[in-house]
Structure 1
Amino acid sequence: MLMRVWLRLCRLLGKLLLTLVIVGLLGWGAGEAYYAWKFSGPVSAEEQIPPEEAALTQTIIEDAIRVVEQHRDNTRVLRDAHAKAHGCVKAEVSVLADLEPALRQGVFSEPGKTWQAWMRLSNGNAYPQFDRARDARGMAIKLLDVPGDKLLSSKATAGNQDFVMFNHPAFFIRDVAEYKQNFAAQADGKKAMAFFPSWDPRTWEIRHLVIALKTLAPAPETPVATTYNSIAPFKYGPHNIKYRVIPDPASCPPYELPEQNRDLPNFLRNALYQQLSLDRVPACFALQVQLQNPNYYMPLEDPSVEWSEKISPFQTVATIKVPAQDFDSREQNLFCDNLSFNPWHALPEHRPIGGINRLRKSVYEAVSVYRHQRNGEPQAH
């Protein structure tokens, strides 16, 4: 009797499991077909600016100011994102000596040219937390003494050309309208509402939630062993591109980082200090660009879509060397905290494009001015 009941129960569970597998496969197939249809080219090679974007941007600036006030460190106002730095280090960015003519644009127009630069490595959160916490990781590069008028600059930043990146190839937000809704929910402490703004499933952003969860990755062994992406597109002379920085250890002396104590709150800074300051071994990267092919789904206004490397491979345009150096001093850490990075600190040949980049122009500038005023510091370089 019990055996028959058990066998029937097993058959029932088996049928239920099989049904769930079939439904899951059908759902997966339908999703793949939907996105293959939705994410198909061609796309525009020009920006398309929604009429309500300016008003939304002003609201986002107000929310960003709320965030920096919420996360004040005692009396000091921090950045609204990437508040915790692992260090600011000196770097050398060298244009390839044999760079092909079509890629000789802007600061990369002179083959063999080496720019002196500052590089800031950071966690992504708006409040400093232990490095072992899942988080985005950022790299910002500031080329120095770059001649020419910039798209956005002050007297202090007139010679700067900035590149701002983080360690995932896609952003978890589509456009300024979604950013406004998502950021406001997080500023109010309602993180679930960031991707599920209502009970209507049509408003849910499950794909973007998946991207966000992938972005919040475990910490690398060291900040110089990670790939960093621009995510949003930029001009590159006549081209539309995305760029990234990848580790290039083969261009530096061989080095094996000693195992780090990942329970320490700042072990990523310790790893950087171990390599550059104690062991005196430089770190090397390659800076690459990926050209838009508008015949395929490589949109300018949706940075949540990763451009296909099969269609348009990344091409190296410069090398980056971070020489051995002492960087972890009180004076340099304060200097690092006062640095402002903005992708609009740029030559016209490198103009940021797309909604998220247009948003950055206003928000980064407003938060930087507010932060330095509140901290009693002059506007930084």
Structure 2
Amino acid sequence: MAARFVRYTPDIEDDDPHFDKNVQTVIEKTENYIAESVEAGGTGRALRDAHAKGYGLVRGEVEILDGLPPEYAQGIYATPGTHDALIRFSNGSPHAGADARLGAATGLALKMFDIPGPTLLEDEPDTGTFDYANINGPIFFCNTVEHYLFIQELFLNAPAYFSQGRPGAHRFFTEFVTGKGTLDQDNWAWDEFLAFLRLSKTPPANVLLSSYWTMGAVRHGDYIAKVRIIPDPSSAAAVIRRNIDPASAAEVFRPALEAELQERPYAFDLQVQLCTDLERMPVEDTTVEWPEQLSPSVTVAKLRLPRQDISGSENLAKMDSLSFTPWRVTAEHRPLGNIMRARKEVYRQSSIERHKLNQQPRTEPRSADEVLDPPHESQ
């Protein structure tokens, strides 16, 4: 029997009466952290409050496949074709520095060009760009904006906790579960804490060998989905630098990415997993992994990376000037759930503050060529 996919309706999202107030508090904390990071971050520049360290900006091409089943051929995926793209690979931490100090959480932020239709960002509706901001885990460790307030504070101050050894780690874990003492015992953040522990045990890997999820649910035209970007099996099999040891050098992720892309092209599959059961595949609970047995992920596009040289310092500078947000999408791909909804204004204000402090123009590129030169034919 064919799966019955849940239709999108606005009432699948919870209404949090304190949402606006809590988001404003998150924004204020984020802006303070970014301002302080100019001196405290060790780079002399304002850092992102998450995914602060980038590993490289890469040119790519997204081919939206022809002949998709109608449930998957939704929104931008209803029109087969090829789009230039830029990809930012990054560490998930809000801190910079040696890779060994930052953990194994990594991100893949994708920007596609020449996508028709207005975006959901009111201050830049007609950019023609479409973003994904994905992480290397199928779950996330925060379910509400109220909880994000204390989880964000813990993560921004994590080095201070863990520099104190086991006592500091114990205090970090205790304050995570108890909401820094604000939660009743019956409401301790166990689900979120266990999700955090699961993600923290992700082994370090070459960023080309990781899979990357949208973190929360998104609209997929008439349906509800999660989107992941997963290595193409034949490309993954060709990767030489498979074992990444962050303790072996200050920089390990970027050199491995540079070397692989200089030697061979690479490809990912962009896949959509449609929701079939809101109880077992929830929108508001990001700590729950959607079972593939209920609804397998289906490839809707190929993300191809040509051979290229990203080794220059100008690559890092160009990467630093870009912004990515899960809300730079068309209405048919709207992020869903309160945590995803909070990212809209938090990401926007974070980008504004960072660009202002770094004295960078905050303009969305109209093409990949505006940012990176096309790869040479000889490559």
Is TM more than 0.5 here? yes
Secondary structure at the aligned position of 1:139 is classed as: strand
Aligned to 2:367: none
Whether the 8 Å contact between 1:253 and 1:282 is mirrored in structure 2 is no
Question: Which amino acid letter does the alignment assign opposite residue 118 of structure 2?
Answer: D
Deviation at 1:114, TM superposition (A): 1.1
Aligned to 2:79: 110
Q: Deviations over 1:112-167 (max 9, x none)?
A: x1111000111011111322342311110000121211111655971210011101
Out of 235, 241, 248, the position equivalent to 2:219 is: 235
**Aligned-partner Cα distance in 2 for 1:138–1:267:** 15
**Aligned-partner Cα distance in 2 for 1:376–1:369:** 10
Whether the 8 Å contact between 1:66 and 1:187 is mirrored in structure 2 is no
1:253–1:127 distance in 2 versus 1, CA, 3 Å:
closer
Gaps of 5+ in 1: 1-40
Out of 285, 294, 298, the position equivalent to 1:311 is: 294
Matched length: 337
Whether the 8 Å contact between 2:94 and 2:155 is mirrored in structure 1 is no
**Counterpart mapping for 1:101-180 below 5 A:** 101-111=70-80, 113-133=81-101, 134-152=103-121, 154=123, 158-180=127-149
Secondary structure at the aligned position of 1:68 is classed as: helix
Aligned to 1:97: 66
Q: Deviations over 1:187-232 (max 9, x none)?
A: 4667342322328532422332221122124553411000111120
Please, which moves more after superposition, 43-52 or 309-318? Answer: 43-52
1:124–1:186 distance in 2 versus 1, CA, 3 Å:
closer
Q: Deviations over 1:323-372 (max 9, x none)?
A: 11012222221110111001110111111111011100010000100110
1:194–1:299 distance in 2 versus 1, CA, 3 Å:
same
Aligned to 2:327: 344
**Aligned-partner Cα distance in 2 for 1:102–1:256:** 37
TM-score, normalised on structure 1?
0.82
Aligned identity (percent) is 33
**Aligned-partner Cα distance in 2 for 1:100–1:282:** 29
Aligned to 1:9: none
Gaps of 5+ in 2: 1-5, 162-171, 365-379
1:297–1:75 distance in 2 versus 1, CA, 3 Å:
same
1:69–1:213 distance in 2 versus 1, CA, 3 Å:
farther
Secondary structure at the aligned position of 1:195 is classed as: helix
1:181–1:218 distance in 2 versus 1, CA, 3 Å:
closer
Aligned to 1:356: 339
**Aligned-partner Cα distance in 1 for 2:250–2:295:** 39
**Counterpart mapping for 1:243-322 below 5 A:** 243-250=227-234, 254-257=238-241, 262=246, 263-277=248-262, 279=263, 281-294=264-277, 296-322=279-305
**Aligned-partner Cα distance in 2 for 1:363–1:346:** 16
1:49–1:332 distance in 2 versus 1, CA, 3 Å:
same
Deviation at 1:97, TM superposition (A): 2.5
Deviation at 1:107, TM superposition (A): 1.9
TM-score, normalised on structure 2?
0.82
1:52–1:293 distance in 2 versus 1, CA, 3 Å:
same
Whether the 8 Å contact between 2:22 and 2:149 is mirrored in structure 1 is yes
**Aligned-partner Cα distance in 1 for 2:52–2:215:** 19
Question: Which amino acid letter does the alignment assign opposite residue 106 of structure 1?
Answer: G
Aligned to 1:195: 177
**Aligned-partner Cα distance in 1 for 2:239–2:283:** 39
1:253–1:168 distance in 2 versus 1, CA, 3 Å:
closer
Q: Does 1:80 align with 2:36?
A: no
Q: Does 1:58 align with 2:24?
A: yes
Secondary structure at the aligned position of 1:104 is classed as: coil
**Aligned-partner Cα distance in 2 for 1:71–1:166:** 23
Deviation at 1:255, TM superposition (A): 4.3
